[in-house]
Structure 1
């Protein structure tokens, strides 16, 4: 098994990092769609629509077609929501990684490299919402290299950086559908401290929840 090296971002990593992030976020579209289907309001709307059309048309074909079209529209809405988040992230910082993360002493961007190929990334910078904390951001690992401890190593790189800079804690945000990420963060030592629904209308209707996790470094030192 080839060794994995974690190093600071370089300019030539730019396109690979963007691709890693984009593919990683896009993977959550199916699970987000399933999450929507499990919501009671969604099931109620589908059932009421089916029954109303069945009663009025006296045929199974029309309600089945209508439900199929509605589900297709819902899935496209999920795709749009994720694509919008990806585009916003690219404009906000991933189109200018060096300027955003590598010019200040309290921010950084790392990649995980294996056999000369970038297979993972993570970053951190001072939190806008939690004073005295760094925020872990843009965590992503290539599907082909998961299960090798790369994500844990990237998390711990951020933790060590945060400790060295004298910050009180690391915080991060993840979504209800990113269950593997939640398990990873909890294994590393993060604790869920807050839940809130994304403010966009579609997200509120479908109860698309975000979780805030926090790793208090004093508490982490005690566990160690």
Structure 2
């Protein structure tokens, strides 16, 4: 088991931190594809396509190839959309990590280091909705360093920061495919308080569900 330590972000961590975020988010492309494939309307369309081609061509090869092609194109489209989301994040708060988190009041960015390599990240910034609410963001742990408690340790750093700075609660968002992350947050003490489908045409079409979690900080804790 590798030892690790958690420290504040430094400018020399910039590229690694961004790469960790990108790699972590890209892991969700296959689960998202499976989630979309399970939607009733998708299964209905694929079934109709298969049966129509089977009846019209009287051959099994054509409908199988057509469905396979449709699945491949859908996979590419989802991958492209996901890449656009990652690029958007990299151009927003992760474009200048020091300015966004280290130089802004009430915000911070931590990294977990093992074997002199950054293997995890997490960030926190004040909520835009409530003054005494802190938002946990950009949690990511390198795949080969998971299971060592790094994610929990990073979460606790955010909770400690919240207590020290007078926040009343810490909130975060998870996606419907982030089951492992949800279990980790729940083990630390976060509780799900709302779940909703992304209110866009794309979100409603694929039932893109977001779960919001909160950790309430008791006075004097």
Consecutive aligned runs of 4 or more in structure 1 exceeding 6 Å deviation:
none
- Alignment match, 1:145: 145
CA distance in 2, matches of 1:129, 1:57: 58
Map Cα deviations across residues 49-74 of structure 1 (whole Å, 9 max, x no partner). Answer: 11112122222122111111111121
Structure 1 residues without counterparts, runs of 5 or longer: none
Cα deviation, residue 205, structure 1: 1.0
- Secondary structure in 1 aligned to 2:41? helix
Cα deviation, residue 36, structure 1: 1.1
- Secondary structure in 1 aligned to 2:105? coil
- Matched-pair contact (CA < 8 Å) for 1:189–1:220: no
The 1:159/1:26 distance shift into structure 2, 3 A limit, reads same
- Alignment match, 2:163: 163
- Secondary structure in 2 aligned to 1:218? coil
TM-score with structure 1 setting the length: 0.94
RMSD of the alignment, in Å?
1.6
- Secondary structure in 2 aligned to 1:166? coil
CA distance in 2, matches of 1:76, 1:202: 16
- Secondary structure in 1 aligned to 2:35? helix
Query: When the two structures are aligned, how many residues end up with a matched partner?
Result: 221
Q: Does 1:8 align with 2:16?
A: no
Map Cα deviations across residues 124-162 of structure 1 (whole Å, 9 max, x no partner). Answer: 001123442110000000011110000000000000101
Q: Does 1:53 align with 2:28?
A: no
- Matched-pair contact (CA < 8 Å) for 1:120–1:150: yes
Report the more deviating stretch, 88-97 or 72-81: 72-81
Structure 2 residues without counterparts, runs of 5 or longer: none
Cα deviation, residue 200, structure 1: 4.2
CA distance in 2, matches of 1:129, 1:70: 42
